[in-house]
Amino acid sequence: REAVDALLHDVLGYGEVRTRPRDFEKDLQWGQALEITDRLSELARSRGRTFQVKLSNTLVVENHRPFFPASEAVMYLSGEPLHVITLNLVEKYRRACPAVPISFSAGVDARNFPECVALGFTPITTCTDLLRPGGYGRLPKYLDNLEERMRALGVRQIGDYVVKAAGQGEEAIRRAVPPGPLQAALAETLRSDAVDLAGVVARSGPPGLYDELVRVAALLNTPVVVERATRDPRYRAEANRKPPRKVGSRLALFDCINCDKCVPVCPNDANFVYETGVLRTEYQSYRYEKGAVKAFPGGVFAVTKAHQIANFQDFCNECGNCDTFCPEDGGPYIEKPRFFGSLQAWRSLAGRDGFFAERAESIDAIWARIRGVEYHLEVDRRLDRGLFTDGVLQLEVRHSERRVVGAFAGSRAREGHVIDFSAYLNMALAVDGVLDPLKANPVNAPYPGPFPLPSGERPG
Ligand code: SF4
Ligand code: SF4
């Protein structure tokens, strides 16, 4: 813990991040880790296998930010500071267990990926970086950067790259290969613009020598790369403090600044784009009065952009990452139309607004909860007829015109009961857009099913 704190606070400047003694005390201790390494390495060897460690996991620290509820005692640090902490751990572990291969996962991004490869890590895992704008689209840059480094060094194979990447190649050859013609040939190709260490060893070296050369080079590279990363200002607090920009406006069901950042930053692909018609209309809602359903002015309903965002609830684990990167306030996964994958799922979260929609031949059936009120809309697209109800009053609608052509009361209607026509407009625009078969999304994609869709079902 002292070593982690020294790196976090004194070297990297994250003075506000606090570790807790108890988290280190209950975790695996250094001596135990070495003992486990020895035991499992031996067991693996006896079975013709290799024991390997993965470094590391996220770092448990005190929750000191308002982002998470105060009831959460801890949060988990990842990204830039974890990269440096874990590289230092790698150096310490390799001094103790130089023969154990390491899989690395800590703050890997496109810029440091070539360095991670130079340390002989396999596999290399990235996560935090993929939660930033661009999402999985950030991955090709990792390989572009590695290719650029490999071309600059004149190498064509990963092993040759490891040997040459940090200027330790000649020493690695001296340590791994006995003096003689093979050692000289390797040193010569290493210095050339067309390095072929693998080819030289394959032609005149014993089996296993190339792997040993690469392993020795990775070990020699370790203090060099770790020192470089530890000194690099890009990992320091001052370079990583700036939160993503907010513009001060608040999200609503429709319309936003359309930056689309919430789509790729979602690790679960839960946010998606869809197109809807723009609409501005003064609408009327309906009230049950003295045995009749009467219209009264409802307000103005406006959707100003065709490009919209929705959320697929069944994929969303509410990690909040889209909220972090959305320039507007409120959180896309909370404010944007939330579509459930089944009627059962929609029902099971009864305290939450959202939609379930299904298209069957010419009929669209939509269940919605808006501001806590449940509605049902059934649209016969062939007849252009919508039946919209809250379970008490029912409106018949010319769907393409968003216009009421009939209003009816059910047996449960009570004096003064109101059905809000803006709920229909919300449902119509969101669902017409999301069910458009020309734009695939998690809602309109054909699933093998079965969906629990009792025909003719209504809320209430
Ligand atoms: S919801 Fe936020 S992140 Fe998503 S497109 Fe709109 S403004 Fe951008
Ligand atoms: S809160 Fe949901 S939609 Fe937003 S990033 Fe997390 S999983 Fe994706």
Nearest ligand atom owner, CA of 322: 2
Question: Closest ligand 1 atom, CA of 258?
Answer: 5
pLDDT at 452: 52
pLDDT at 277: 87
Question: Closest ligand 1 atom, CA of 256?
Answer: 6
Assess contact for 86 and 56: CB atoms under 8 A.
yes
DSSP tally for the chain: helices H, then strands E: 16, 16
Nearest CA to ligand 1 atom 2: 326
**Which structure tokens are listed for 222?**
């370790």
pLDDT at 66: 82
Question: Closest ligand 1 atom, CA of 260?
Answer: 5
Residue ranges around ligand 2 (CB below 6 Å) = 266, 268, 270-271, 311, 316-322, 333
Q: Measuring CA to CA, which residue among 310, 384, 349, 347 is closest to residue 460?
A: 347
Residues in the chain: 460
Nearest CA to ligand 1 atom 1: 332
Question: Closest ligand 2 atom, CA of 323?
Answer: 4
How many whole angstroms from 332 Cα to the centroid of ligand 1?
7
> Which class for 124: exposed (0-12), middle (13-18), buried (19 or more C-beta within 10 A)?
middle
pLDDT at 241: 85
Q: End-to-end CA distance of the chain, in Å? A: 58
Question: If residue 418 lies in a helix (H) or strand (E), which one and from where to where?
Answer: strand 418-419
Question: Chunked in runs of 10, what are the mean pLDDT values of the chain (460 residues)?
Answer: 97 96 95 98 98 96 88 94 98 98 98 98 95 93 98 98 98 98 98 98 96 98 98 96 90 96 94 95 97 96 96 94 95 96 94 94 95 97 97 97 96 96 96 92 77 49
How many whole angstroms from 369 Cα to the centroid of ligand 1?
22
How many whole angstroms from 137 Cα to the centroid of ligand 1?
17
pLDDT at 450: 52
Question: If residue 285 lies in a helix (H) or strand (E), which one and from where to where?
Answer: strand 279-289
Q: What is the DSSP letter of 138?
A: G
3-state SS assignment for residue 266: coil
Within 10 A of 397 (CB to CB), how many other CB atoms are there?
Answer: 23
Q: Measuring CA to CA, which residue among 1, 34, 37, 30 is closest to residue 18?
A: 1
Q: Measuring CA to CA, which residue among 331, 327, 297 is closest to residue 418?
A: 297
Say yes or no: ipTM exceeds 0.95: yes
Q: Measuring CA to CA, which residue among 445, 144, 40 is closest to residue 272?
A: 445
3-state SS assignment for residue 5: helix
pLDDT at 69: 85
Nearest CA to ligand 1 atom 4: 262
How many whole angstroms from 332 Cα to the centroid of ligand 2?
8
Which of 253, 256, 263 best tests ligand 1's pocket when mutated (most atoms within 8 Å of CB)?
Answer: 256
How many whole angstroms from 239 Cα to the centroid of ligand 2?
26
Assess contact for 256 and 276: CB atoms under 8 A.
no
Cα distance between residue 424 and residue 379, in whole Å: 11
How many whole angstroms from 306 Cα to the centroid of ligand 1?
14
